[in-house]
Amino acid sequence: MPDSPNLPTDHTSFKANEDATGEAVGLSHLKFAYSEQDNPVIDIPSWHLAKSEKCFIAGPSGAGKSTLLNLLTGTLAPTEGEITLLGQPFSSLSSRKRDAFRARHIGVVFQQFNLIEYLTVQQNIEAAAYFYKGKAGMTEARQRIPSMLEHLQLSPTIGRKKAATLSVGQRQRVAIARALINRPQLLIADEPTSSLDAQTRDQFMQLLLDIAQDTAVIFVSHDVSLARYFSRHEDIREINAIQGNVQ
């Protein structure tokens, strides 16, 4: 993949210090409002997730799930309080350094998978590695992609297919591979099963948690039946002190 002005060029390597605290995520006095004139939509006094812990967060639309995930991935910055990820004061970083940290330490599986339709499967996965370490990251990724695709029950030849030609089941597996190619210590999944039938959903959950055994996971969904896959269950309305119509 050639260099592009749309791709980040800051491949800063952070040494996450999760072993010092045993925590993947720490939230302290966290508040967020979309503007100074608006009331906060997030108010979380304290919340913590241990390293390698798997947490399911449920809640209805408008309760703050998406806003919380945007704060955890650094696309939004807190109005007040602190977010600590893997021992790093994440919310204190500049926007550019949050992007670099996310590329290295956080994997994200989106609701619609967000594959780049005109790229091949191989190129979609390599793009995530490029965000982390540039061309060197892509070279390393090429060595891991075949075994990762095999683990996800995908044919090695699928790497040459355009994302636009994939079935829903194939897309979900490629999305997992892309999220985990950089060996992140934290995986965030945002309603990734909402468009799947029951059988495909269950296969997705089993594959996701199998390949992310050593990774801390935050899985957000309104589908409470998925809680059975997780040792820890939370309701966003119990985490977030703000009630009402939130994003």
As a whole number, mean pLDDT of residues 31-41 equals 89
As a whole number, mean pLDDT of residues 23-35 equals 95
pLDDT above 50 for 4: no
pLDDT above 50 for 13: no
Share of the chain above pLDDT 70, in %: 89
pLDDT confidence band for 62 (50 / 70 / 90): confident
Mean pLDDT score of the chain, rounded to an integer? 86
What is the torsional sign of CA 156, 160, 162, 165? negative
By mean pLDDT, which of 20-24, 30-34, 126-130 is the weakest?
20-24
pLDDT confidence band for 194 (50 / 70 / 90): confident
**CB-based contacts of 157: which residues, under 8 Å, 6+ apart?**
none
Which residue bears the tokens 């002190």? Answer: 241
As a whole number, mean pLDDT of residues 75-82 equals 95
By mean pLDDT, which of 5-19, 29-43, 212-226, 230-244 is the weakest?
5-19
By mean pLDDT, which of 16-25, 115-124, 233-242 is the weakest?
16-25
Radius of gyration (C-alpha) of the chain in whole angstroms = 18
Supply the CATH classification number for the domain 18-116+162-239: 3.40.50.300
Show me where the domains of the chain are located: 18-116+162-239
Give the distance, in angstroms, between the CA of residue 39 and the centroid of all CA atoms in the same chain.
Answer: 27
pLDDT value of position 243:
66
pLDDT confidence band for 226 (50 / 70 / 90): very high
Q: What is the pLDDT of residues 88-123, one digit of tens each?
A: 999 999 999 999 899 889 999 988 888 999 999 999
pLDDT value of position 11:
42
pLDDT value of position 160:
94
pLDDT value of position 136:
85
Euclidean distance between CA atoms 103 and 107, whole angstroms: 7
Contact between 22 and 51 (Cβ < 8 Å): yes
pLDDT above 70 for 164: yes
